[in-house]
Amino acid sequence: MAGSFEIQQRAVLHNLQQYESVYKAFSWEQARAELVGLPMNNGLNIAFEAIDRHAVGEEGNTVAIRWIRKDRSIKDFSYISLQHLSSRFANVLVSLGIKKGDRIFSLAGRIPELYITALGTLKTTAVFCPLFSVFGPEPVFQRLNRGDAKVLVTTRSLYEKKVRQLLDRLPMLQFVLLIDADAHIDSKVLSFPRLLEDAYEEFFIPPTGPEDPALLHFTSGTTGMPKGALHVHNAVLMHYITAKYVLDLQKGDTFWCTADPGWVTGTSYGIIAPLVCGVTNVIDEEEFDAVRWYSILEEHKVNVWYTAPTAIRRLMRMNIKPRSVYNLDRLRLICSVGEPLHAEAVIWGGETFGMPILDNWWQTETGGIMIANYPSMKVKPGSMGKPLPGVEAAIAAVSGSSIELITEPGKQGQLVLKKGWPSMFRSYLHDEERYNKCFRGDWYVTGDLAKKDADGYYWFVGRADDIIKTSGHMVGPFEVESTLMQHVSVAEAAVIGKPDPVIGEMVKAFIVLKPGFTGNEKVMLDIMGFARQKLGPAVAPKEIDFVNELPKTKSGKILRRLLKARELGLPEGDISTLE
Amino acid sequence: MTDEEIKHVVVELFKKIAPDTEPEKLAPDDDIRHTLEIDSFDALQFVVALDEHFGIETPEEDYGKIATMKNLIYYIQQKKTRLPT
């Protein structure tokens, strides 16, 4: 394992100063006491903790959201204005007949209406489910359908390109609210600004139990279509504690999480966590651009930056020394998530910014950061760090229904987490069997392989299944294969994650063509174009190879593992089950 | 090379990376990534193909300079006059 180094001491006193002692003394009851809770003992609501309590307190006029448009102009929303806007949207939902537990979806880029939708939905005790705007119509359909969407908030162009064609297949969908429509289109497709304008800016948040559903995030599995992981309002405890201990957010901070709310990081940390801490949350509408990002850090005096290895690797390719070009004096902490951050990137952070980049680990199902490096803890570059206070992690040998914890340092096994942290997913929507399969007794089995060293640091090894991690996002091979099979020329398809130096893994497809078709460039481009139209560029294959047959087990299951080994020129491993 | 010839090459390169798009319909000032709805990996692949075809080197810090077709053609012309192909 690589060497270690201490973080430079900075003027700020960290929220977590002594990891071991805080870990030992921690209790969730104590953490709960640091939040306010709804007035009159009415429970715990994420939106109240994020917005309303600050709006009526001393942070009322603090900028809650600083939105940077593509053209670099900005629009600020104070906690008070966000309280009014989200309350208006909550009233809109109530007037549309939305009830507790109903699912409200968004399909939009990083624009203010998305954040207003999220917070307003949470106020009503309906469930917010964000979709990635780069998804093609098929992933959008799968999620709206499986999530029983009642309302979708989107833009006119996304509606025209991706949603309108799906309406006949979505009988549950009652309303589509268009963010940029000046007038209602018909009784179903309505103007978001018109509705907002007509609504009251005060809203009484109904009693909210900590176990009431709040957020729905879809994630991919190896088999079957995406699974909807459901989280509850109590998750705000995890958002708060991780923002305090990992992101080290402090009064007066400006925070920037670069993740899109279409993915869980962009919701937990791009919307909720910074607002719960009462800081200023920067949102950039534009996609990654190295020069733009550095200048945003400078111009908006970002103190804490939460980003991803894909972006960090792009920045590492540049020939500039950022601190000699940009004034980054305010930046005191950089964290990373999405996929393991290699030791070189951690060290590069130390050399480039004067602070190592702190990696952390979690997944959609966990709802919040579970294992992390902390500003006050010695960093071992390449390690994901140690479990959050309140989270118990272990390495285990898992087979069938049994689980055996591994205590021997450095021995590889499944990373498992003890049930009971507040943001643990409470179900896969309509899929109890799959949910139950994730647990062995008291332990949640993450599907990630890892090791724990003698000092208690965790080290990521790889996935235990065939799920692809591309640009930090999970892609399920089955979802892609199902779409490829719909192409007129495709007889069989298998999809793997091919390692890529920038995006971690790229989606690669192996295709067996139907008789009468030849595997030439024209057919390849036609299949690729077809898949991109259906799935969108974030999910569709970036590379296609034609093969005569796919390796399968005797029972006919495609051996993606073998395809991957062949692609990488690695040993093929146990092939005793090969057909 | 004329601007039109460069545009033709650019369109062909995009069609190989994102065959579902219609790069020939890009207006000179359209934001390419936004209009074609390509992701950042597609954009990276495009720059690699562009560099290879024209024998130029486009560093990460210049990506913002090639966001539109007009700027992209200008950038390539500049590069080609400065660097031997």
Q: Tens digits of per-residue pLDDT, A167-185? A: 999 999 999 999 999 999 9
First to last CA, chain B: 12
For residue A579, the model assigns a pLDDT of 63
> Which value does ipTM take for this structure?
0.90
pLDDT on residue A326: 95
Phi-psi region of A458 (alpha: psi -120 to 50; beta: other; left: phi over 0): beta
Distance, in angstroms, between A569 CA and closest chain B CA?
Answer: 23
| pLDDT tens for each residue of A506-565 | 999 999 999 999 999 999 999 999 999 999 999 999 999 999 999 987 777 888 888 998
Contacts of B74 (CB under 8 A, 6+ apart): none
Phi, psi of A152 (to 5 degrees): -125, 130
CATH topology for A19-448 is Rossmann fold (3.40.50)
Cβ–Cβ contact B15 with A under 8 A: yes
Please, where in chain A does CATH 3.40.50.12780 lie? 19-448
List, in order, residues 6 or more apart from A161 with CB less than 8 Å away. Answer: A137
- Among B19, B37, B60, the residue with its CB nearest the CB of A314 is B60
Rounded distance between C-alpha atoms, residue A387 and residue A74, angstroms: 37
Is B3-82 assigned to CATH 1.10.1200.10?
yes
Please report the pLDDT score of residue A426 as a whole number. 98
Q: Give the minimum alpha-carbon distance from A134 to chain B in angstroms, rounded to a whole number.
A: 8
- Are A333 and A375 contacting, i.e. CB atoms less than 8 angstroms apart? yes
Phi then psi dihedrals of residue A4, to 5 deg: -135, 160
How close does chain B come to A93, measured CA to CA in Å?
A: 31
What residues of A are in contact with residue B16 (Cβ under 8 Å)?
A: 525
pLDDT for res A561: 86
B58: nearest CA partner in chain A: A318
Exposure string of B33-42, with b = 16+ CB inside 10 Å and e = fewer, is bebbbbbbbb
pLDDT at position A473? 86
Contacts of B42 in chain A (CB under 8 A): 537, 542
CB A238 within 8 A of CB A368: yes
Determine the Cα–Cα distance for residues A198 and A92; give it in Å rounded to an integer.
8
A337: Cα within 13 Å, side-chain hemisphere: 29
Distance CA A415, CA A395 (A): 5
φ, ψ of residue A546 to 5 degrees: the values are -95, 135
Phi then psi dihedrals of residue A52, to 5 deg = -60, -40
Pairwise CB contact (< 8 Å): B60 & A318: yes
With pLDDT > 90 as the criterion, what percentage of chain B qualifies?
87
Given a contact cutoff of 8 angstroms between Cβ atoms, the answer to whether A418 and A394 are in contact is: yes
Give how far Cα A193 sits from Cα of A149, A155, A178, A308, Å.
Answer: 21, 11, 8, 33
Distance CA A530, CA B20 (A): 7
Contact flag B31-A291 (C-beta cutoff 8 Å): no
For the domain spanning A468-568, the CATH number is 3.30.300.30
Where do you find CATH 3.30.300.30 in chain A? 468-568
The residues of chain A scoring below 50 in pLDDT are 1-9
- Model's pTM, two decimal places? 0.91
- Of all residues in chain A, the one with the smallest CA distance to B36 is A537
Contacts of A33 (CB under 8 A, 6+ apart): none
Q: Which residues in chain B have Cβ-Cβ distances shorter than 8 Å to A508?
A: none
